[in-house]
Structure 1
């Protein structure tokens, strides 16, 4: 059944939609890119897919396997991404570990990622009000005797790019609460070769891209390695998915014009981009 907003978009002439004729470069990895693209299309935009990073399986599962072998020792499992959720449960399946092994753990996921966790496990104990690692810390701080708890964080192993400060800062903040934290690599995040994007990079240089939409810091890091200089993209409006990605973009000397305040879903990101062009 279509939502009301979808029906309105289907019946509204494309020229009346806020992102009509706007080409928006999507740098998110493929499994995220289609979801953001769908929301952009609903607003009348033309997504141009150029994933600057990809996620893939680990080459060495020893740390994750060790953690899974002692999973009952953890009070909380904190997932910071949908990829982490999928990779974690895939490995459990590979090792024939039943999901019932997690029955004594409390599980946390951010925003729409909770839907993925529900599909694998059937329950989510915590969805922070703020869809960010800082939101996780804020919620855990409210729990009595939280300093006595042990936490597992399934995280990406970043290869060939500087690791963003998101997970390291989360770990530090949790340790400052007295929590015992174990981080395990669950999947790989790595940059892609710019040579596969000759057409897309030329579109940017030819001023045929209106917006570049970044959904994570590591996407920005990889994108900057693909362009020759800021002059390649200085005419583009830069949009970032939430204040944390924005802050890191600014540290990388990228001028951000659009910041999605609703960063629990890509619907909010597309809405922020559309709002920018509505005035």
Structure 2
């Protein structure tokens, strides 16, 4: 299949090429993101000289039922706000609107909140206006973004993944809002782990393992078995995209060596390079 590189990826690569291309020369880095989202991360790492082993620990699947979501989509004008905390939520939300022959522009009758600039960018690409972007790209950041707004008796639609935390729901309820949270996709683990990956871990070939969501941690731990997971990753550099994912790593006995202050793959890539600059 012909490789497709997005405009955003090309821009990121050009920026990366302005720095030392071989800062990660020869390092073998495991990327555990979902298959449809790993390419950009892998390209950034390769631009710095890394070798990349991709193993998506997540399969993105549709919800078990669309019934409640379809009702909400057909009555979008009843909501004051729609909150998106992931690009997967955006993609599946828009796809379902299209499946129902509903115009995506309908969502612009509501005000829209995005967890960060990447989620906002995808919304813009689909013709959706974004009114509020959290400055801290977490559920807590979303709640904080609403803190200065009048939310009493406002109706909020929260399309989410099945593994989403309750932080957004609880925070908005405390601010007086009514929240309708609906699952738009499920994070499922892969059925099995490739022999190549197990051998690479057992033979200590992998220099760094990256985790970009808590589910990437829990799914890999589930596939390997918790004790084996902790043993195989002992001594390997662990790179986490942010504090929530790092907390999950710690729960499974992993020490996190790299965590960027900005929770993006671009920042994570740069922090990985800085880490190896220091230790090499």
Q: TM-score, normalised by structure 1?
A: 0.89
Look up the match of 2:238: 238
Task: Note if 1:131 corresponds to 2:137.
Answer: yes
Task: Note if 1:8 corresponds to 2:7.
Answer: no
Contact 2:30–2:53 under 8 Å retained in 1: yes
> Per the alignment, in what secondary structure is the counterpart of residue 248 of structure 1?
helix
Look up the match of 1:168: 166
Contact 1:155–1:167 under 8 Å retained in 2: no
Distance of 1:256 and 1:7 partners within structure 2 = 27
Look up the match of 1:43: 48
Structure 2 stretches lacking a partner, 5+ long: 1-9
Look up the match of 1:153: 158
Higher relative contact order (CA 8 A, sep 6+): 1
Distance of 2:276 and 2:16 partners within structure 1 = 19
Contact 1:19–1:277 under 8 Å retained in 2: yes
Q: TM-score, normalised by structure 2?
A: 0.89
> Per the alignment, in what secondary structure is the counterpart of residue 260 of structure 1?
coil
Distance of 1:4 and 1:69 partners within structure 2 = 42
For the aligned residues, what is the CA RMSD? 1.7
Structure 1 stretches lacking a partner, 5+ long: 158-162
Look up the match of 2:119: 113
**Deviation string, structure 1 residues 6-31 (Cα, Å, up to 9, x no partner):** 4436xx6x6xx221111110111011
Contact 2:117–2:133 under 8 Å retained in 1: yes
The 5 Å alignment of 1:11-30 reads: 17-30=22-35
Distance of 2:218 and 2:177 partners within structure 1 = 31
> Per the alignment, in what secondary structure is the counterpart of residue 255 of structure 2?
coil
Look up the match of 2:108: 103
Aligned length: 264
**Deviation string, structure 1 residues 70-107 (Cα, Å, up to 9, x no partner):** 21111111111111101101111111111232232011
Task: Note if 1:81 corresponds to 2:86.
Answer: yes
Look up the match of 1:214: 211
